[in-house]
């Protein structure tokens, strides 16, 4: 990606491919031994030091973060632009959230399989991205494969922890990772899950069966269209993990970054507004909306929160950019908002 905007890249691919591998690697490999043996002992240097070596030895133009992510001015508040760009040159980790009561057995199984890991808080373990877990632990029953930043959504559930019974709607549920998280933290919930994709809800049902999540209600719904509301159909918490650019996850899928059309941002912003406007009427008076994206774009994050406050009458409780770029993880955004105590 560093070289994507330079002229005559194709003519220099035999040089640039080893250079890209050099930037993104932290351990020596066979490729380095054969292609650039002089770089073997330099593989542990910082990204900036490696950039200087490439510039000098390949006579390449100066490398800049703008060659990686040119939309600096569009980033969410508090983003460290240089660190965020550097994260595209580092392989992300694989993260698991160990479910309540399973930490000892998971650690034992990983140890028996000689799989290294590092603890990231109480329930989160980070592993090498190439780790094969399906034959080692019981995924979804003992631990959920879930990015570090996604696991941090738990902190937004704190205001609801003491409620004896809650009606929760995970309206863009996908394969259900956040619903499982909610049930682990707030066990006394009446759970409803919806998504527009039938196939992904089939996967959700399989995961819920393994995870022991029951009872629950599941429906295929297009949230871009106005919804028919049944009498008394209101929720204490609506989790709205909206479709977005996915820009906070692009270090895992750099092709999405490379081919990203800027005009598509407006499409997602419009989609997010439709979805939130259609689900907010289903909040109980005093109920909570948890708005989530895996985006680093302000237009999908803080700007949407302003809209929800201004046009939908919600009160912001807290918002946070969940930075993962300094932890080999994704970057996400979350905001918890509350509806007025009484309908107006």
- Give the pLDDT confidence of 279-309 residue by residue, as tens digits: 999 999 999 999 999 999 999 999 999 999 9
Share of the chain above pLDDT 90, in %: 74
Rounded alpha-carbon distances, angstroms, from residue 72 to 4, 66, 82 = 17, 8, 10
- Domain extent listing, the chain: 1-63, 148-338
Q: Where is pLDDT greater, at 41 or 322?
A: 322
Please state, in angstroms and rounded to a whole number, the distance separating the CA atoms of residues 93 and 147: 9
**pLDDT, mean of residues 93-122:** 97
What pLDDT is attached to residue 174? 96
pLDDT tens readout for residues 34-91: 888 889 889 899 888 888 898 888 887 777 777 889 999 999 999 999 999 989 988 8
Q: Where is pLDDT greater, at 95 or 231?
A: 95
pTM of the model: 0.91
pLDDT tens readout for residues 253-275: 989 998 999 999 999 999 999 99
**pLDDT, mean of residues 126-131:** 95
pLDDT tens readout for residues 229-251: 886 689 999 999 999 999 999 99
Superfamily of the domain at 148-338? Vaccinia Virus protein VP39 (3.40.50.150)
Indicate if the pLDDT at residue 13 is higher than 90. no
């Amino acid at each position: 990606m560093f070289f994507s905007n330079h002229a005559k890249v194709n003519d220099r691919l035999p040089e640039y491919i080893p250079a890209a591998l050099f930037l993104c690697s932290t351990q020596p490999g066979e490729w380095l031994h054969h292609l650039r043996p002089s770089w073997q002992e330099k593989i542990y240097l910082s990204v900036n030091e490696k950039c200087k070596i490439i510039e000098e030895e390949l006579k390449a133009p100066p490398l800049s973060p703008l060659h990686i992510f040119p939309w600096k001015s569009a980033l969410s508040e508090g983003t460290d632009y240089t660190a965020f760009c550097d994260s595209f040159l580092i392989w992300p980790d694989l993260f698991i959230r160990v479910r309540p009561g399973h930490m000892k057995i998971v650690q034992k199984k990983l140890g028996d399989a000689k799989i290294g890991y590092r603890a990231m808080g109480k329930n989160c373990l980070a592993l090498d991205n190439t780790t094969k877990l399906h034959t080692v632990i019981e995924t979804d029953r003992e631990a959920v494969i879930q990015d570090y930043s996604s696991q941090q959504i738990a902190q937004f559930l704190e205001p609801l922890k003491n409620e004896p019974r809650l009606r929760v709607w995970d309206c863009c549920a996908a394969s259900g990772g956040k619903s499982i998280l909610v049930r682990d933290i707030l066990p006394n919930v009446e759970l409803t899950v919806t998504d527009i994709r039938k196939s992904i809800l089939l996967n959700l049902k399989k995961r819920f069966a393994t995870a022991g999540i029951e009872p629950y209600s599941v429906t295929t719904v297009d949230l871009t269209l106005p919804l028919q509301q049944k009498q008394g159909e209101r929720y204490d918490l609506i989790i709205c993990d909206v479709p977005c650019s996915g820009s906070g996850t692009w270090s895992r899928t750099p092709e999405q970054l490379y081919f990203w059309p800027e005009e598509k941002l407006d499409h997602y912003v419009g989609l997010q507004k439709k979805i939130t406007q259609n689900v907010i009427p289903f909040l109980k008076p005093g109920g909570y909306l948890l708005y989530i994206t895996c985006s680093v774009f302000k237009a999908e994050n803080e700007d949407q929160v302003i809209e929800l406050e201004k046009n939908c009458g919600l009160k912001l409780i807290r918002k946070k950019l969940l930075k993962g770029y300094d932890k080999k993880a994704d970057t996400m955004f979350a905001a918890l908002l509350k509806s007025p105590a009484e309908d107006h």
